[in-house]
Amino acid sequence: RVEEHLRTFTYSTRVPVPPSERDWVDFLLFDSKQGYCDYYATAMTVMLRSVGIPARVATGYVTGEFDPLNQSYLVTEQHAHTWTEVYFPGYGWISFEPSANRPVPPRLESPLIARTEDDIMEALESDLGADAFLEEDELLDDGGFVPLPAEQGGPAYSLGLVALGVLFTVLVGASLTAGLLWFVGTVRLPAFARPYGQVVRLATWCGFGPRSSQTPFEYTKDLVRVVPAASEPLAAIADAYVAGTYGGQQFDGGSLGRVRAAGARALRMLFRSLATRRWRVWLTSRLRELTGPERER
């Protein structure tokens, strides 16, 4: 209703200056009833906060103008925009458009359902193919891979050894590259935020990144549903990230040490649960591709 009401006001960049003794939001709402995006986003945010609804002002850019020659959008300072975001439990931060010159953004019709391990595996299967998921009795034999169905010394056996060697080399190289990119991507973060940033990077690589509407607390709760054992360290790094980023909290050496330790624990647990399975799925899929022709003989 607040959004609908404000959208009945006139959108104009040429607005009267409120009297010095008047609050300019009150002046907009009860007197001038005209303004531009900064005015309406601020007014809506203030109105919602006054009744206890969590709201914030968001700034950014609209899409811009499409250039068919370059097949790209041209975004200039004229496309700068301000709008309101409102927090709904179970949905996250939802955008609202109180300015009449912009269309109302689409709305979610159902809550953001927390993802589980089954959701992750479904996404991996979609990405890598259903054949990547061997049944347990196919994949393991006394704790290891089942022997290739050919006599030792046969072509399939030799090909399997070569494939394993190539895959091992690829995995080592990919791990080193990923580790370097992971380090470079978080080294510039403040010390208190680095553990949270590292967890987000690892989980995103495993196909479990945060949604744009999720708060850090909501996101780490999603991770806990998949890796319950990591509940305590994930809560610790989320608390530190939120307190330092949004609350301006200062951390002494002891506090930073505890946050780093919690981050290291969370990373180990997530890696064992998510990354290891992703590597296993990828390795199994590639082995099947490499040994498939020989296995069919």
Domains of the chain, by residue range, sit at 2-96, 117-295
Most confident of 76-85, 135-144, 159-168, 203-212: 76-85
Most confident of 219-228, 266-275, 284-293: 219-228
Under 8 Å between Cβ of 83 and 44: no
Q: What was the pLDDT predicted at 226?
A: 86
Architecture field, domain 2-96: Roll (3.10)
Distance CA 107, CA 175 (A): 40
| Average pLDDT of the chain to the nearest whole number | 76
Q: Which residues pair with 82 in a beta bridge?
A: 59
Q: Render pLDDT for 101-143 as a digit per residue (tens, 0 to 9).
A: 888 887 655 444 445 555 544 544 444 444 433 443 344 444 4
Is residue 62 pLDDT above 80, yes or no?
A: yes
Radius of gyration of the chain (CA): 27
Q: What is the average per-residue pLDDT within 182-195?
A: 78
Distance CA 148, CA 242 (A): 51
Q: What DSSP element (H or E) covers 57?
A: strand 55-61
Q: What was the pLDDT predicted at 108?
A: 56
Is residue 35 pLDDT above 80, yes or no?
A: yes
Collapsing DSSP to helix, strand or coil, 141 comes out as: strand
Is residue 192 pLDDT above 50, yes or no?
A: yes
Residue of 160, 123, 156 whose CA lies nearest to 284: 160
Give the torsion sign (CA, 186, 189, 193, 194): positive
